[in-house]
Chain A
Amino acid sequence: MSMRTGNPQTALEAVTWRRLLVSSWPWRSAGYLLTTLPLALPAFAVLAIPWLVLVARLTAGDYQVGVIVVLILLGAALIAALGPLIAMPLADLERRRLRMVDARPVGSGHRNAASAGPVSWLRARYADPATWREVGYACLLATVAPVLSIAALLAAPLTGSFIASPFLVLAQRPGDGPVALGFGKVATVGQTLPYVIAGVLLLPLVPYLLTLLAGGHAAVARALLLGGPAEQLHAELAEVSRSRVRLADAFEAERRRIERDLHDGAQQKLVGLTLQLGLARLDLPPGSPAAESVAAAHEQAKQLMAELRELIHGIQPQVLTDLGLPAALGELADQSPIPVAVEAHLAGRLPSQIETTAYFVAAEALTNIAKHSGATSASVTAHQHDNVLTIEISDNGHGGADPHRGTGLTGLADRVAVTGGRMLLSSPPGGPTLLRVELPCTQNQQPSG
């Protein structure tokens, strides 16, 4: 097991520790086993009673098929329906109780259910394997755990009674009959001798028994309630993926905000200013120094207008925001130096992040085609099938595109991956090149208004 340089971390480790008998571990273990009993009760009441009734009926020789079937169904239904509701709070309590006999950090094995609303929370919980491990734990807690705990806890008074047996016999009044000790009976002090010897020998073993059982219970609890290393890793990975999506969403929202601010603010004001300069220019006598400097300012303002429009377009093309992907792809094709055929038929507007990702994939691909492929024509298709948007960009160039060479494609692959989509590139030497991007889009919103 782990290194034993300091104090043991768990009850199980403490079992092989030299100083167990003088440590607090046996007492804590006894406390742990003792507190198991009241907790086992509610679990037992819900989960085990139909089964117990069943067993009782069967042992009583009652073999009515209907009753048996009903009891089985009832038992199964209770576990399936109420199991998680009982098991989840129980597991929370158990994870806290685990600290009595396990000093290691304790965390929930559940995936983070970030979804809002009690219904979706419940749905996420019922779909989570961790929940069903907790139900399994609750079943054990209702059945095996109390039996073993009671047996182990009874070992202490039993051993004590063995050692005390001579005094018990001496304390007998005549006519009381023999003293019952475990499985046997003693009537004289001489007969108690083997019991006393056994009791003295067994006494030091009782703390070990308690600690061992508590340690075993705790190990099972840790395995079922916290998940193994693989589960923990999986949960962490899922959380990392979710945080990546959140980051991407936040980035996307911020980009849109910047675009809107620039468009509604700076761009409008700049157009107004340029218009004023254009008017001022007309009012000044032609050829005068004032007219010349106003003319220069007007030209600069026009230049700035064009640059700002380019900038805003690069952040988020307005045609995409207003009219959706097909129109924006059409605009891309119009701006391409080589002829580009566009075929995009989509039922409605797609989620904005999907539209933006698809658009920038096509834009980057068409830029690459124009720069590197030597193609004389290209095509862009977009279609949606089974909630997957597929974009294909192909050209008749000389192929040999390497996704690792250009950072553009890598960046796009990252954008695609965030949406849960994938990107496939086929570009054999000699061509043709085909870039295919699949983006899952769950909800399909109609154009607003």
Chain B
Amino acid sequence: MHPKPAAIRVVIAEDGVLLREGLAGLLERFGFQTVAVVGDAEALKTAVAEHAPDLVITDIRMPPTFTDEGLRAAVELRRAHPGLAVVALSQYVQHSYAADLLDSGDGRGVGYLLKDRVVDVEDFIAALRRVAAGGTVVDPQVISQLVRRRRDPPSSLSAREREVLALIAEGHSNTAIARQLVVSEAAVGKHVGNILAKLRLPQTDDTNRRVLAVLAYLRSDK
């Protein structure tokens, strides 16, 4: 199915055994190479130092305190290993988490997803691939809350424009958005232009830059 030049090497950090094994199986099924599965943040750091993976998938909430040790480890790892792609999985939306992670590095190769997304197998794998390729992926629920939080311009966005905005923030290209919304690519291009204009953001075709700009704007109200 997918042409694979070299398998993406992954370290999984998740304290729930069922989900950890499920993730490992899922990744294997899609041709990723899982080099280590660990259950806490310290083991994650050790595993990354040992295996130098391309991608880390980590639960944010892990032992011993069950608050944000996975996230802190991820930010630390990205500082120590520039270019290491990280996808953080969270049980619930927490803006400060997403912001901390997105601010690490230059926002490239970062994903923040709710845990439940894992079960949408293909979308989840696609998100992993985008992040591993240096893209940025933020959970649609985070985006929709950020949009709601902004009091001014986004309220002037049309419903369709909001949909497109959420897809931009998820890291999709115009082509992918067009396919998903079943409209022409030209229509998507027009929507994107309108959105960026309404948000007073610079026009750009670089998907990742677009995502970061949108997120930066949405967060700026906080």
Q: Mark A406-448, 1 if CB is under 8 A from B, else 0.
A: 0000000000000000000000000000000000000000011
Alpha-carbon gap, A301 to B118, bound state (A): 13
Interface of A (DSSP majority class): helix
Contact between B26 and A271, CB atoms less than 8 A apart: no
Contacts of B119 in A (CB 8 A): 271, 274-275, 277-278, 298, 301-302, 305
When the two chains form their complex, are residues A279 and B16 in contact, meaning their CB atoms are under 8 A apart?
Answer: no
Give the docked Cα–Cα distance between A135 and B64 (Å).
Answer: 53
Q: State the total of A-B contacts with C-beta under 8 angstroms.
A: 77
A335 closest partner in B (C-beta): B145
Once the chains are docked, how many angstroms separate the CA of A337 from the CA of B168? Answer: 23
Q: Which residues of A contact B38 (CB under 8 A)?
A: none
Question: What residues of A have a CB within 8 angstroms of the CB of B91 in the complex?
Answer: 318
Q: List residues of chain B with CB within 8 A of the CB of A277.
A: 119
- Cβ of A309: which chain B residues have Cβ within 8 Å of it? 116
Q: With A306-B116, A447-B67 in contact, do A276 and B151 touch (Cβ < 8 Å)?
A: no
Least CB distance from B86 to A in Å reads 20
Number of interface residues of A (CB under 8 A): 32
Asked whether any CB of chain A lies closer than 8 Å to the CB of B130, the reply is no
Residue from the list A269, A281, A317, A447 in contact with B121, Cβ < 8 A = A281
CB neighbours of B95 from chain A (8 A): 330, 334
B149 adjacent to chain A (CB < 8 Å): yes
Nearest neighbor of B114 in chain A, beta-carbon distance: A309
Chain A residues contacting B19 (CB-CB under 8 Å) are 268, 271-272, 275
Nearest chain B residue, comparing its CB with the CB of A312: B91
Query: B161 to chain A: closest CB distance in Å?
Result: 20
Interface string of B136-180 (1 = CB under 8 A from A): 000000000100110100000000000000000000000000000
Report which residue of A275, A276, A305, A331 has the largest number of chain B beta carbons within 10 angstroms of its beta carbon. Answer: A275
- List the 8 shortest-distance A-B pairs measured between CB atoms, nearest first: A449-B65, A278-B121, A272-B18, A274-B119, A275-B22, A334-B145, A268-B18, A272-B22
Taking Cβ atoms with an 8 Å cutoff, the residues of B that contact A are 16, 18-19, 21-23, 25-26, 29, 61, 64-68, 91-96, 115-116, 118-122, 145, 148-149, 151
